[in-house]
Structure 1
Amino acid sequence: MSSTSDPARPRRGFGRDPEADSGPRATFGQLLPYLLEHRTVLSWVIVISILGAIASLAQPLLVSQVIARVEQGEPLGSLVAGLVALVVAAALLSGFGHYLLQRTGEGVVLSSRRTLVRRLLHLPIAQFDERRTGDLVSRVGSDTTLLRAVLTQGLVQAIGGSLTFVGAIIAMAVIDPTLLGLTLLVVAVSVVTVVVLSRRIRVASRRAQEKVGDLAAAVERAISSVRTVRAANATDREIAAVDKDARGAWEQGIRVARISALVVPISSIALQVSFLVVLGVGGFRVATGAIEIGALVAFILFLFLLIGPLGQAFGAITSVNSALGALGRIQEIIALPSEVEGDADVVPEPDDPDDAAVSFHDVHFSYPERAHRTEAEKAAAEAEAALSATAGRGANANSHGSRDAQVLRGVSFAVPRGARVALVGPSGAGKSTVLALVERFYDPTAGVIRMDGVDIRALDRVELRSRIGYVEQDAPVLAGTLRENLLLGTPDASDEQCATVLRSVNLGEVLDRSPLGLEAPVGEDGVMLSGGERQRLAIARALLAAPPILLLDESTSSLDGRNEQLMREAIDAVAENRTLIVIAHRLSTVVDSDLIVVIDHGRVVGTGTHSELVREVPLYRDLAKHQLLV
Structure 2
Amino acid sequence: MSNTAEPVASTPVETPRPKNASSMTAREMMVALWQFVRPYKKTLIAAGIALVFTAGITLSIGQGVRLLVDNGLTGDSSAALAHAVLVLMLLAVLMALGTYARHYLVSWLGERVVADLRKAVFDHIVTLHPSYFETNRSGEIMSRLTTDTTLLQHIIGTSFSMALRSSLMFVGALVLLLFTNLKLSLMVLVGVPLVLLPIVLYGRRVRKLSKASQDSIADVGSYAGEIIQHIKTVQSYTREHDEQQAFGREVEAAFDVAKRRVRQRSLLVAVVIMLMFGAVGCLLWVGGNDMIAGHMSSGDLAAFVFYAFMMGSAVATISEVYGELQRATGATERLMDLLNVEAEIPVSSGTAESGQPASDANGARGQVAFEAVEFSYPSRPDQPAVRKLSLDVAAGRSLALVGPSGAGKSTLLELLQRFYDPLGGRITLDGVDIREMDTGTLRRQIAVVPQQPALFTADVWYNIRYGRPDASDAEVIAAAKAAHAHEFIEQLPDGYNSHLGEQGTRLSGGQKQRIAIARAILKDPKILLLDEATSALDAESEYHVQQALEALMQGRTTIIIAHRLATILHADNIAVLDQGQVVAQGRHAELIEISPLYKRLAELQFQSSELQRPVVE
The TM-score bracket by the shorter chain reads 0.7 to 0.9
Q: Distance in 2 between matches of 1:622 and 1:251?
A: 58
Aligned pairs for 1:109-124 (under 5 A) are 109-124=114-129
User: Partner of 2:377 in structure 1?
Assistant: 367
Supply the AA of the counterpart residue of 2:20.
D
Q: Distance in 1 between matches of 2:35 and 2:345?
A: 24
User: Partner of 1:61 in structure 2?
Assistant: 63
1:44 to 43, 46, 49: 46
Q: CA-to-partner distance for each residue in 1:357-391, whole Å, 9 max, x for gaps?
A: 1111121212222xxxxxxxxxxxxxxxxxxxxxx
Q: Distance in 2 between matches of 1:611 and 1:24?
A: 65
Q: Answer whether contact 2:366 2:396 (CA < 8 A) is retained.
A: no
Supply the AA of the counterpart residue of 2:64.
L
2:221 to 216, 233, 236: 216
Q: Evaluate the alpha carbon distance shift between residue 417 and residue 494 of structure 1 in structure 2; reply closer, same or farther with a 3 A threshold.
A: same
User: Partner of 1:88 in structure 2?
Assistant: 93
1:473 correspondence with 2:445: no
Give the drift of 1:241: 2.2
Give the drift of 1:342: 8.6
SS in 2 for 1:78: helix
Unaligned runs of 5+ in 2: 1-16, 350-364, 608-617
User: Partner of 1:532 in structure 2?
Assistant: 510
Give the drift of 1:65: 2.2
1:304 to 309, 313, 323: 309
Give the drift of 1:24: 5.6
2:190 to 176, 185, 194: 185
Q: CA-to-partner distance for each residue in 1:476-513, whole Å, 9 max, x for gaps?
A: 21111111110111112222222222233322332121
Give the drift of 1:563: 3.5
Q: Distance in 1 between matches of 2:561 and 2:567?
A: 9
User: Partner of 1:337 in structure 2?
Assistant: 342
Q: Distance in 2 between matches of 1:20 and 1:549?
A: 41
Aligned pairs for 1:426-465 (under 5 A) are 426-465=404-443
User: Partner of 2:390 in structure 1?
Assistant: 412
Give the drift of 1:32: 2.4
Give the drift of 1:158: 3.0
Q: Evaluate the alpha carbon distance shift between residue 558 and residue 508 of structure 1 in structure 2; reply closer, same or farther with a 3 A threshold.
A: farther
Give the drift of 1:410: 1.8
Q: Distance in 1 between matches of 2:557 and 2:583?
A: 22
Q: Answer whether contact 2:127 2:347 (CA < 8 A) is retained.
A: no
Q: Distance in 2 between matches of 1:517 and 1:342?
A: 37
Supply the AA of the counterpart residue of 1:412.
S
Q: Evaluate the alpha carbon distance shift between residue 469 and residue 455 of structure 1 in structure 2; reply closer, same or farther with a 3 A threshold.
A: same
Q: Distance in 2 between matches of 1:232 and 1:404?
A: 37
Supply the AA of the counterpart residue of 1:205.
S
Supply the AA of the counterpart residue of 1:368.
P
User: Partner of 1:73 in structure 2?
Assistant: 76
Q: Distance in 2 between matches of 1:234 and 1:105?
A: 43
Q: CA-to-partner distance for each residue in 1:405-444, whole Å, 9 max, x for gaps?
A: 2211222111111111100011222211110110111111
Supply the AA of the counterpart residue of 1:326.
A
1:167 correspondence with 2:161: no
Q: Distance in 2 between matches of 1:403 and 1:78?
A: 84
Supply the AA of the counterpart residue of 2:410.
S
SS in 1 for 2:401: strand
Q: Answer whether contact 2:346 2:439 (CA < 8 A) is retained.
A: no
2:143 to 138, 145, 170: 138
Q: CA-to-partner distance for each residue in 1:506-559, whole Å, 9 max, x for gaps?
A: 223321212421111111111111112112221221121111110010111123
SS in 1 for 2:427: strand
Supply the AA of the counterpart residue of 1:574.
L
Supply the AA of the counterpart residue of 1:185.
V
Q: Answer whether contact 1:46 1:157 (CA < 8 A) is retained.
A: no
User: Partner of 2:286 in structure 1?
Assistant: 281
User: Partner of 2:255 in structure 1?
Assistant: 250
SS in 1 for 2:420: coil
Q: Answer whether contact 1:49 1:157 (CA < 8 A) is retained.
A: no
Q: Evaluate the alpha carbon distance shift between residue 628 and residue 113 of structure 1 in structure 2; reply closer, same or farther with a 3 A threshold.
A: farther
Out of 67-76 and 617-626, give the one that drifted further: 67-76
Give the drift of 1:462: 0.4
SS in 1 for 2:384: coil
Q: Distance in 2 between matches of 1:316 and 1:33?
A: 22
Q: Answer whether contact 1:46 1:160 (CA < 8 A) is retained.
A: no
SS in 2 for 1:469: strand
Q: Answer whether contact 2:57 2:95 (CA < 8 A) is retained.
A: yes
User: Partner of 2:21 in structure 1?
Assistant: 22
Q: Answer whether contact 2:106 2:157 (CA < 8 A) is retained.
A: yes
Q: Distance in 1 between matches of 2:393 and 2:283?
A: 89
SS in 1 for 2:399: strand
Aligned pairs for 1:209-608 (under 5 A) are 209-341=214-346, 357-369=367-379, 405-608=383-586
Q: Answer whether contact 2:107 2:158 (CA < 8 A) is retained.
A: no
Give the drift of 1:339: 4.2
User: Partner of 1:202 in structure 2?
Assistant: 207
Q: Distance in 1 between matches of 2:210 and 2:308?
A: 32
Q: Evaluate the alpha carbon distance shift between residue 596 and residue 145 of structure 1 in structure 2; reply closer, same or farther with a 3 A threshold.
A: same
Supply the AA of the counterpart residue of 1:357.
Q
Q: Distance in 1 between matches of 2:457 and 2:121?
A: 22
Give the drift of 1:23: 5.6
Q: Answer whether contact 2:370 2:428 (CA < 8 A) is retained.
A: yes
Q: Distance in 1 between matches of 2:129 and 2:552?
A: 31
Supply the AA of the counterpart residue of 1:318.
G
Q: Distance in 2 between matches of 1:418 and 1:568?
A: 18
Q: Distance in 1 between matches of 2:64 and 2:106?
A: 30
Q: CA RMSD in A?
A: 2.3
Q: Evaluate the alpha carbon distance shift between residue 23 and residue 414 of structure 1 in structure 2; reply closer, same or farther with a 3 A threshold.
A: farther
Out of 158-167 and 282-291, give the one that drifted further: 158-167
SS in 2 for 1:154: helix
Q: Distance in 1 between matches of 2:330 and 2:367?
A: 50
Unaligned runs of 5+ in 1: 1-17, 345-354, 370-401
TM-score, normalised on structure 2?
0.88
Give the drift of 1:343: 9.8
Out of 221-230 and 507-516, give the one that drifted further: 507-516
Q: Distance in 2 between matches of 1:221 and 1:342?
A: 29
Out of 331-340 and 116-125, give the one that drifted further: 331-340
1:149 correspondence with 2:148: no
Q: Distance in 2 between matches of 1:356 and 1:578?
A: 7
Supply the AA of the counterpart residue of 1:250.
F
SS in 1 for 2:367: strand
Q: Distance in 2 between matches of 1:516 and 1:501?
A: 18
Supply the AA of the counterpart residue of 1:216.
G
TM-score, normalised on structure 1?
0.86
User: Partner of 1:382 in structure 2?
Assistant: none
Q: Distance in 2 between matches of 1:57 and 1:560?
A: 79
Q: Distance in 2 between matches of 1:239 and 1:364?
A: 46
Q: Evaluate the alpha carbon distance shift between residue 515 and residue 238 of structure 1 in structure 2; reply closer, same or farther with a 3 A threshold.
A: closer
Q: Answer whether contact 1:366 1:405 (CA < 8 A) is retained.
A: yes
Out of 203-212 and 489-498, give the one that drifted further: 489-498
Q: Evaluate the alpha carbon distance shift between residue 269 and residue 33 of structure 1 in structure 2; reply closer, same or farther with a 3 A threshold.
A: farther
